[in-house]
Amino acid sequence: SGPAASVKGDVDDDGELSYNDALLVLRASIGLETLTEDQEALGNVDGDALLSYNDALKILLASIGMEEL
């Protein structure tokens, strides 16, 4: 898989956006989770160079149809 084959924001690569993707990004942004480079690329949805709570929020909102990634 990897970013080219995966859905933007789908950090756990299960084929859909969910709260789990947002949780992984949030945990990684505060050092509680280690992500692969591919996962970081998928999780960095706001276009800056960092994984942050903002990425997690955007993924969470997208998972319930309130945001487009």
- As a whole number of angstroms, the distance between CA 15 and CA 29 comes to 22
DSSP 44: -
Q: Is the pTM of this model over 0.85?
A: yes
What's the mean pLDDT in 2-27? 90
Cα 13 vs. chain centroid, distance in angstroms? 10
- As a whole number of angstroms, the distance between CA 63 and CA 30 comes to 21
The string of pLDDT tens digits covering residues 16-67 is 999 999 999 999 999 999 999 999 999 999 989 899 999 999 999 999 999 9
